Structure 1
Amino acid sequence: MTSPIDHILARALLNPTPPIDFEAAEARLAAR
């Protein structure tokens, strides 16, 4: 199983996201 963080890092490598989207992703992880 891949961790959510690994999934985000892998996705960021394939399609870099602006800082705003990255912060939103962290907020979603924090919400979980």
Structure 2
Amino acid sequence: MMEKLLKIINGRIKSLTSHKGYTIISLLGDHYG
């Protein structure tokens, strides 16, 4: 049960970080592009 929860949380974090990463990269691109 705990492993399932961790996998779900991990997936959520991964999707969040990838989404935020894209936003940050695009913002940095706007500033330094």
Report the TM-score, using the length of structure 2 for normalisation: 0.42
Structure possessing the higher relative contact order (Cα contacts under 8 Å, 6 or more residues apart): 1
Larger Rg belongs to: 2
Report the TM-score, using the length of structure 1 for normalisation: 0.43
Could you say which structure has the higher helix fraction?
A: 2
